[in-house]
Chain A
Amino acid sequence: MAVTATAARAGAGFSLPAMVKEAGLTALVVLGLSFYLVGFETLDVPGGVDIRTRFGDVAMAVVIAFLGRTAVFLLRVGRPRPVLLLAPPIALLILVALLSETLFGPVIGARVKLLVPFDSPVVMWAVLAVTVILAVRAAWRLSHDTQQLSDEQRDARAGAVAAQVQRALRYLGPALLVFALAMPFMPFANRQIVDIGTLVITYIMLGWGLNIVVGLAGLLDLGYVAFYAVGAYSFALLATYLDLSFWICLPFAGLMAASFGVLLGFPVLRLRGDYLAIVTLGFGEIIRIILLNWYSFTNGPDGVSGIPRPSFFGYDFTRNPAEGEASFHMLFGLEYSSMHRIVFLYYLILALALLVNFFTLRIRKLPVGRAWEALREDETACRSLGINPRNTKLTAFSIGAMFGGFAGSFFATRQGFISPESFTFIESAVILAIVVLGGFGSQIGVVVAAVILIGLPEIFRELQEFRMLAFGMAMVLIMLWRPSGLLAHRDATLRLGPVGRGGGTAR
């Protein structure tokens, strides 16, 4: 059936007016979008702001969009030849022009570089990438005579990949764990890398925590950052007011966040879907605004500073500890290094994250975990089976919140300073994006998504504003191609058949 469908699709085939119309429309959209956004640039000049026009760039963007869409159209109707003829030379031209200064030296290079329509190398690399992809696809289609996959087929294929990844995790999981454990001691690990690792793992932990609420219980929570904030402030305030240490405060912070989870859970018990999302969104804002305005207690926008750093079972990470106390480097007879604390923080968050993961994997196989998933699937059926939806939802909210609280405490002790500005809606959105991108309920998906969404932007910090653009584009592409998430795959929590073949447990 798929064959006839593609035949029909290819046969419906080529018509010049249709091609020109489609490409023209695309070009028109690009013109409309880029005319103001690209066409005018404001410049700071002495005494005010000046406007510079860049209509050349607009024209080039329109031409490129026209050509690109034409190529896509030709590929779709099964005529890859013209694309294959044109795309590689264009790609080569761009490549040569981009590398011109290193290839030909500055003088000729500058002249060759005029061939490149845009100033920004990032944009040009993107154009080059798209051209190369088109050329490769054209070559592929010419040589393989592949059928165009329908969306369902593509999704099924991605699902199979996700299942394979899940199966491979048996070996991959420990390998990843060993890598994570050994990472700070690898030769490439400098201060920046370990810091990024710590940040990524913080988000992995938050993702795993939110995954309990969103992925397992199916309760869309747009205000998860509230629990992160509650955890962070619980620790910060307990530590600064009562002078308690990190290890004593950590359980309290988790407990506090969990009770806020119940507090949020009660009013939203009856709500589903969009309504639930809106209320949780509001809850996140309420917490932030309380923190912002309760100046006498939380210090408002000034934040809480002087939060104690975590100690290694009572041994601080200071160069010169107070009289009569030993610090970490003395305990182990090491030379003092500021890296010690950073590496310790890395291991601390790794341990916390692994705790969450272990807990989630374990609870999935317990009645509560199964009830969460059943609740996600069909709440009415759950009630007909005598499952208490209220308690089930509240446990999901409170446990998810507790882990958010732990992560918050860690955040506070790592930063040493917190303010409400760290807990804006965008944080919730990023955490949710990690869960959605990775695939609802998939533990490894969260890891992959956190690395992509947090790790890559940190590494490519030079790209500045393009980071958010790429972030948005990644989300749009995922929603188009695989709405259930990159590695969405669910393994049954217990099996009747033999576990060996095609078995595999969740992680």
Chain B
Amino acid sequence: MSAMHEIPGGGQSLLTVEHLTMRFGGLIAVDDVSFQAADRRITAIIGPNGAGKTTVFNCLTGFYAPTVGRLTLHGRGGDFYLERLEGFRTAQQAGVARTFQNIRLFPRMSVLENLIVAQHNKLMRASGYTVLGLLGFTTYRMAEADAVDKARYWLDRVNLTDKADWEAGNLSYGDQRRLEIIRAMCIDPVLLCLDEPAAGLNPRESAQLNQLIKFIRDEHKIGVLLIEHDMSVVMGISDHVIVLDYGCLIADGTPEQVRGDPAVIRAYLGEDEKEELPAVVRQDLEQIQQAAPEQDGEAR
């Protein structure tokens, strides 16, 4: 696959996934999946439980090294081959940020500190890798003030400014979700990967989340990749939907295209078993079923 293909939902290609395969021993979690995600677009990855969505995320964000495949990020300053980057470098160098299905904050640090830690690499440089900061150079103090400003900007955005000095672990569930998203934004990503951001949110919070994700796409002009079960979120905000089932890509298109796709309906709603079976087996099965009532009678 190349950038010449038109991406459903439009936009410039930001991420190209080619033949991604991930095996765990004998289990093939992701099987030869290829797709593209566009810059300044929201791409949703959906699929039933166990379809391999989170595995794709883990490959993209450096938590797994894929068995086969090329993951190219057309980021700031050239292409990054994500499958070759060591864990933390996907975030540090390529600018791929992520959130987690089960929220992973730093619970005993304050909300503000969570956001400052996210700007670690920038602050690390400003503090002269600790030496200058230890000696009290002003460059570090200014950088820290900038970092606080950025944190404040995001806190204002999600109405958490009043709770900036709370311990992150004491926030409500919905606030924790939003904090995790803005923390990911604080690393200045080019691609934001959200793993089920709406899980456990009530309808109102879910609507606020949609606003936030759209805001990130439109105002910060980055690509968003999201895994989601909540169809109102998926159909409401995504520009491009990718459907996985048993590790295989079964549909790739705009929300409208995917909604009507028979393969997707089958994956979600189940299917008539007969149609799947080979013709010979189906005939046999029908014969057996015709014979069945008599046998039942004898058995009784």
Chain A interface, DSSP helix/strand/loop, else mixed: helix
Q: Is the CB of A492 within 8 A of B112?
A: yes
Please tell me which one of the listed residues A367, A373, A495 contacts residue B109 in the complex, with CB atoms under 8 A apart.
A373
Q: Does A240 contact B (CB under 8 A)?
A: no
Please tell me which one of the listed residues B62, B90, B109 contacts residue A374 in the complex, with CB atoms under 8 A apart.
B109
Q: Does B116 contact A (CB under 8 A)?
A: yes
Number of A-B contacts (CB under 8 A): 122
Q: Does B98 contact A (CB under 8 A)?
A: yes
Q: Does A370 contact B (CB under 8 A)?
A: yes
Q: Is the CB of B118 within 8 A of A385?
A: yes
Of A283-291, A376-384, A463-471, the one touching chain B: A376-384
A368-B130 contact given A385-B183, A493-B113, A496-B164, CB 8 Å threshold:
yes
Q: How many residues does chain B have at the interface if contact means C-beta atoms less than 8 Å apart? A: 46
Please tell me which one of the listed residues A370, A380, A387 contacts residue B100 in the complex, with CB atoms under 8 A apart.
A380
Q: Does B127 contact A (CB under 8 A)?
A: yes
Q: Is the CB of B62 within 8 A of A378?
A: no
Q: Does B69 contact A (CB under 8 A)?
A: no
Q: Does B87 contact A (CB under 8 A)?
A: yes
Closest to B111 in A: A496
Q: Is the CB of A370 within 8 A of B117?
A: yes
CA distance A363 to B133 in the complex (A): 8
A356 to B: closest C-beta gap in Å: 13
CA distance A494 to B165 in the complex (A): 8
Q: How many residues does chain A have at the interface if contact means C-beta atoms less than 8 Å apart? A: 30
Please tell me which one of the listed residues A367, A378, A386 contacts residue B127 in the complex, with CB atoms under 8 A apart.
A367
Q: Is the CB of B134 within 8 A of A374?
A: no
Closest to A502 in B: B165
Q: Is the CB of B106 within 8 A of A374?
A: yes
Q: Is the CB of A381 within 8 A of B130?
A: no
Binary contact track B145-169/A, C-beta < 8 Å → 1, others 0: 0001001100100000100110000
Q: Is the CB of B134 within 8 A of A385?
A: no
Q: Is the CB of B120 within 8 A of A497?
A: no
CA distance A373 to B112 in the complex (A): 14
Within 8 A of A (CB), among B280-296: none
Q: Does A461 contact B (CB under 8 A)?
A: no
A218 to B: closest C-beta gap in Å: 10
Report which B residues bind A (CB closer than 8 A): 61-63, 87-93, 97-100, 104-110, 112-113, 116-118, 120-121, 123-124, 127, 130, 133-134, 140, 144, 148, 151-152, 155, 161, 164-165, 183-184, 187
Beyond contacts A371-B117, A496-B151: 12 other A-B pairs, Cβ-Cβ < 8 A, are A363-B134, A366-B140, A367-B117, A374-B106, A382-B88, A383-B87, A383-B88, A384-B104, A386-B90, A387-B121, A495-B165, A496-B165
Report which A residues bind B (CB closer than 8 A): 359, 362-363, 366-368, 370-371, 373-374, 377-378, 380-389, 395, 490, 492-497
Closest 7 CB pairs of A and B: A386-B92, A386-B91, A377-B106, A496-B164, A492-B110, A381-B104, A367-B123
